[in-house]
């Protein structure tokens, strides 16, 4: 047994980019959003090494989405999103009700919910996809919801290790 991450190039090309383009224009596609999701998966699960919080924990998916966040985003989708966005998200799920445990094995749905988390943030996405520190600060503020410099440094290190070394 050894921990082996998902190939970052494959994850970007065959999961993140197609999902983001599927959600467009309801959630506009951008390379910055793509890079932010790459940083998120690189840090949260060591680039997909873990499909649920390791060693034991409540979070699910390569993005380590908490149940409370998932439920909140689900309510958001059902109350505030337009019908077209709800249709697009539902099309990626095998369950019309969106099952939390599906995030473990359904990479498209997990990517959608991670993108939704950033989309509902009050601040616009960073401008420069190459500014890893800016991406990590945004991740820290709106995904991690802390402003811990140590965690920001770890996210940058993980991104460089797995994505852009």
The span from the CA of 139 to the CA of 63, in Å, is 11
The pLDDT assigned to 2 comes to 62
Q: Taking residues 147-153, report their average pLDDT.
A: 94
Q: Mean pLDDT over all residues of the chain? A: 94
Give the pLDDT confidence score for residue 8 in this predicted structure: 97
Give residue-wise pLDDT tens across range 78-101. 898 789 999 999 999 987 778 999
pTM, full prediction: 0.95
Give the containing element (helix H, strand E) for 8.
Answer: helix 8-11
- CA 143/CA 79 separation, integer angstroms: 21
Give the C-alpha separation, 35 to 25, whole Å: 18
- Percent of the chain exceeding pLDDT 70 equals 98
Question: What does the pLDDT read at residue 3?
Answer: 75
Among residues of the chain, what percentage have pLDDT more than 90? 84
Please give the biggest Cα pair distance in the chain.
45
Using alpha carbons, select from 33, 24, 141, 107 the residue that is nearest to residue 155: 141
Q: What is the pLDDT of residue 1?
A: 55
Q: Which two tokens stand for residue 125?
A: 């996405």
What pLDDT digit, counting tens, does each position of 17-73 carry?
999 999 999 999 999 999 999 999 999 999 999 999 887 889 999 999 999 999 999
Residue 165 has pLDDT above 70, yes or no: no
């Amino acid at each position: 047994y050894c921990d082996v991450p998902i190939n970052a190039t494959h994850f970007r090309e065959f999961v993140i980019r197609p999902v983001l383009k599927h959600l467009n224009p309801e959630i506009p596609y951008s390379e910055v959003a793509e890079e932010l999701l790459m940083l998120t998966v690189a840090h949260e699960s060591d680039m997909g090494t873990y499909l649920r919080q390791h060693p034991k924990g409540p979070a699910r998916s390569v993005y380590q989405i908490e149940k409370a966040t998932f439920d909140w985003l689900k309510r958001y989708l059902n109350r505030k999103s337009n019908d077209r966005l709800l249709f697009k998200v539902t099309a990626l799920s095998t369950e019309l009700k969106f099952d939390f445990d599906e995030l473990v094995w359904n990479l498209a749905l997990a990517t959608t919910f991670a993108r939704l988390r950033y989309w509902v943030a009050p601040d616009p996405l960073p401008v420069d996809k190459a500014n890893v520190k800016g991406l990590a600060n945004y991740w820290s503020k709106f995904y991690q919801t802390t402003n811990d410099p140590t965690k920001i440094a770890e996210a940058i290190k993980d991104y460089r290790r797995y994505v852009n070394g």
